Amino acid sequence: MDNRIFFRDLSSEQARQFVDVRQIFGALRDAEIEARHRFAGTMAWKTVSGGEYLYRRRGPTERSLGRRSAETEKAETAFRNGKARNAALIKGLRRRIEGMAPVNVALGLGRVPNVVARIMRRLDTLGLLGPHVAVVGTNALFAYETSAGAQFRSDLLATTDVDFALDVRRHLGLASALPAPGLVGVLQKIDPSFQMSRPGGFRAVNKDGFMVDLITTAPKDVLRRTSARRLSNYAEDISAVEVVKLHWLIHAPRFEAVAIAQNGLPLRLSVADPRFFAAHKLWLSERDDRAPEQRGRDRQQALAVATLLAGPLSNLALGDAVLAQLPVPLREELHRAVAAAPVQRPIW
C-alpha cells in the first residue's frame, strides 16, 4: 500500500447511517442536558407555619418558590409534566440508538475503543469534556476522521492509552466539578481495575494495560515549573505532568465531533484543533529526544491530518491570524505539509 494513502472515504451506506446516528444522538444529548438542568431535582409542596409552599430541591439545596397560588400550581404542573415528557423522550431515543448499534458495528462504523468511549461519556456528563479537558493524543484522530467522512488506516490509530490535556486556566472549576475522589474515582466507576501507576502520578492503568495520562502545559518561566499539577483537591487523585510546548494544543480552539465506539454506541469527542494537532506532531517528529519509531509515527499522523486539511477539511483556514500562537517556522512547515498532501479518495 502507498504509505501516503492515509484514509478512505465512508461508503454511501456508511455515510447515511452515520448521519442518522448523529442526528438522533444530538437530540438525545439535548434532552439529557435539559434533564440535568431544567428538570433536575424535584418540586413538592410543603406545609410551613400553616401555609402550603412550593419547594424546588436540587441535590442538598432547597428553596421556596412561593406560597400556594394559581401561579405556583401552574409552575408545579408544568415542571411535573415537562419532566415526564423529557424522561419519555430520553428513553425512546436511547432505545433507538441501542437498536442502531448492531448496524453500526456491521457497517464498520464502530471505531473508538469502548473503554475510551466510556471515559468520554462520563466526563461529558460531568460537564468536564471540552471546557476543562480535551483529548490531544492518537484518539483525537477519531474526531478528525468522522468530521471528514473518512476512516484513517488502522496503523495510525493503534494505541494503548488516551491522553487528556488539562487546561490549568480553568482548574478551579474542574476541581469543584469532580466528585470524590477525583478523576481516578471517575475511572474506577467505569472500570474498578483502574489504579494509579504510582501515588501522585499522572497515569492510571487498568488490568488490561490501558493507560489514562493527564498532561498539561509547562509554564514559560523555568523557575515556576513543577513535576506535576494536582487535578483536584483529593490527595489520592491523578496529577497532570507538565509537557513542553503543549500550550499549542491546550490553548488552541476546541474541535468537537460525534464518533461511534466499537460497540456501536455514539459519543461526543472534544479534541485539539486538527491544524494545531498536525503542527504539534510535525514539531514532535523532529525532536532528538524522542525515539525514532515515535518520531516516524508522529510524522505519519501529522501528514495524515494534513491530508484531511488539504481535502475534506479544507474549510479550516490556515492563515497566520488563525495560527498566530505557532512559531512562524512551524506554520510554514504545516503549510508545506498541506500543500504537498496527495489529493486522495482511495478505495481500499
Residue-by-residue DSSP string for 101-164: HHHHHHTT---B-HHHHHHHHHHHHTT-BTTTEEE-SGGGHHHHHHHHTEEE-HHHH--SEEEE
Task: Tell me, yes or no, whether 103 and 146 share the same domain.
Answer: no
Task: Tell me, yes or no, whether 34 and 120 share the same domain.
Answer: no
Task: Tell me, yes or no, whether 129 and 266 share the same domain.
Answer: yes
**SS3 category, 285:** coil
Q: What is the pLDDT of residues 40-98, one digit of tens each?
A: 999 999 999 999 999 999 988 999 999 999 999 999 999 999 999 999 999 999 999 99
Tell me which of 272, 288, 315 is where a domain ends. 272
Task: Tell me, yes or no, whether 70 and 190 share the same domain.
Answer: no
Tell me which of 59, 92, 109 is where a domain ends. 109
Compute the 3-state secondary structure of the chain and give helix, strand, coil in percent, each to the nearest 5.
45, 20, 35
Extract the runs of DSSP E, i.e. beta strands, from the chain: 7-9, 42-48, 51-58, 61-67, 133-135, 150-152, 161-166, 195-196, 203-205, 211-217, 228-230, 239-243, 254-260, 266-272
Mean pLDDT over residues 322-337, rounded? 95
Domain residue limits at 20: 1-109
Task: Tell me, yes or no, whether 182 and 299 share the same domain.
Answer: no
Q: Which of 190, 239, 191 is nearest to 215 (CA)?
A: 239
pTM for this prediction: 0.89
Tell me which of 272, 288, 310 is where a domain ends. 272
Q: State how many domains the chain has.
A: 3
pLDDT greater than 60 at residue 228: no
Q: What is the pLDDT of residues 158-208, one digit of tens each?
A: 999 999 988 766 554 555 566 777 888 889 999 999 999 888 789 999 999
Task: Tell me, yes or no, whether 123 and 238 share the same domain.
Answer: yes
Task: Tell me, yes or no, whether 98 and 145 share the same domain.
Answer: no
**What's the confidence (pLDDT) of residue 59?**
87
Average per-residue pLDDT for the chain: 89
Task: Tell me, yes or no, whether 253 and 302 share the same domain.
Answer: no
Task: Tell me, yes or no, whether 282 and 233 share the same domain.
Answer: no
Q: Among 44-53, 219-228, 284-293, which stretch is predicted with the lowest mean pLDDT?
A: 219-228
pLDDT greater than 60 at residue 345: no
Task: Please give the share of the chain, as a percent, with pLDDT higher than 70.
Answer: 89
**What's the confidence (pLDDT) of residue 236?**
77
Task: Tell me, yes or no, whether 102 and 137 share the same domain.
Answer: no
Task: Tell me, yes or no, whether 265 and 128 share the same domain.
Answer: yes
Task: Tell me, yes or no, whether 50 and 169 share the same domain.
Answer: no
